[in-house]
């Protein structure tokens, strides 16, 4: 029996990194250039969806036996989420956009269209947009690697009262492969360009072609994936043989703008079900363009600085027309 371990760790000692995995899907090593994601708190990997617990009911006694409780990590999924990331790294931001939109040229723009393709990522192949997620621990033997991870959801927002107006990101990664615990290399890329854009760089703030006084803006891209099959990978049984990205893509968000005649016009668009263009940004370094948005509601917010209208929306698109285009350079 081990004696009492008096080591104490601070949550600030943990760090998180992501990379575009260059190795084939299912390879359980760190590959690609790592970028540090500096958030207020580093979350642990969520193992709950990767765990299956069951209680077998067997006769013979009224009390459950130890062997009647069944636990397995086989055939599950694992997630890791980050939040309130004040974006500071251009390459890291472009990587997040690439992973969620599957656009391989995010240094120009990241775009999705109405005819976004259904894609299968096969184990052992290098096609697809998937990542390594590394959680670095102060106990070097307890680093965690969630490899072959899909960024299923990404939220980007600008708000003058949050992080000094800087672009802020939150997201959730998913993997069907059992994470690795051990010592992982976590040397982050030092050549990435600093990114400082946000609310106060947005010179265009328009809804339906009308200029508005923006209070805040957020958009969430959801591009889900599902694990497929049960194979032996890295000597671990019941790992995925593939991922399928074929579910519904959703782009939703919210615009908060000062109540005035221009915003009153767009409330009529909500009532009529009319499509509107939402354009926020500067057209070159930070820009969000949603050509065919549909409002899903509206509410009044009364503040000391005026009345603001909150307009939740969802993006729509038909065929090759754009669903959303984001510039972050």
Percent of the chain with pLDDT over 90: 75
Statement: residue 243 has pLDDT above 70: yes
pLDDT in tens, 123-173: 999 999 999 999 999 997 899 999 999 999 999 999 999 999 999 999 999
Q: Residue 185's pLDDT is what?
A: 67
pTM of the model: 0.93
Strand partners, 252: 220, 314
Burial bucket for residue 228 (CB in 10 Å: 0-12, 13-18, 19+)? middle
- Residue pLDDT, tens place only, 159-218: 999 999 999 999 999 999 999 999 876 766 766 778 999 999 999 999 999 999 999 999
pLDDT at 304: 83
Pull the structure tokens for residue 70. Answer: 């069944």
Q: Which residues neighbour 280 within 8 Å (Cβ) at sequence distance 6 or greater?
A: 158, 202, 204, 205, 206, 214, 217, 255, 287, 288
Mean per-residue pLDDT for 296-302?
90
Strand order in the sheet with 242-245: 119-122, 242-245, 226-228
Provide the percentage of residues in the chain whose pLDDT is more than 70. Answer: 98
């Amino acid at each position: 029996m081990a004696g009492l371990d008096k080591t104490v760790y601070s949550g600030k000692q943990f760090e998180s990194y992501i990379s575009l995995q260059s190795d084939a899907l299912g390879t359980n090593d760190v590959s690609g250039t790592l970028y540090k994601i500096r958030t207020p708190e580093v979350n642990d990997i969520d193992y709950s969806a990767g765990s299956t617990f069951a209680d077998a009911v067997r006769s013979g006694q009224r009390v459950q036996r130890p062997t009647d409780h069944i636990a397995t990590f086989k055939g599950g999924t694992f997630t890791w989420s980050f939040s309130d990331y004040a974006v500071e790294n251009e390459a890291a931001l472009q990587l997040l956009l690439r992973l969620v939109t599957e656009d391989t040229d995010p240094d120009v723009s990241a775009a999705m269209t109405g005819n976004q393709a259904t894609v299968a990522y096969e184990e052992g192949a290098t096609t697809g947009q998937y990542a390594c997620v590394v959680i670095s621990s102060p106990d070097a033997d307890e680093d965690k690697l969630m490899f072959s991870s899909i960024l299923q959801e990404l939220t980007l927002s600008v708000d003058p009262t949050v992080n000094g107006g800087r672009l802020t990101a939150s997201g959730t990664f998913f993997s069907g492969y059992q994470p690795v615990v051990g010592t992982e290399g976590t040397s982050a890329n030092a050549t990435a360009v600093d990114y400082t854009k946000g609310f106060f760089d947005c010179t265009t703030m328009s809804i339906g072609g009308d200029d508005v006084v923006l209070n805040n803006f957020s958009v969430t891209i959801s591009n889900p994936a599902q694990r497929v099959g049960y194979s032996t990978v890295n000597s671990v049984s019941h790992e995925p043989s593939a991922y399928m990205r074929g579910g519904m893509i959703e782009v939703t968000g919210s615009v908060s703008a000062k109540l005035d005649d221009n915003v009153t016009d767009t409330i009529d668009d909500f009532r009529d079900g009319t499509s509107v263009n939402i354009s926020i940004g500067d057209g070159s370094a930070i820009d969000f363009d949603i050509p065919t948005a549909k409002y899903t509601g509206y509410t009044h917010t009364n503040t000391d600085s005026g009345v603001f209208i909150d307009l939740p929306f969802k993006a729509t698109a038909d065929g090759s027309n754009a669903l959303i285009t984001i510039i972050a350079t």
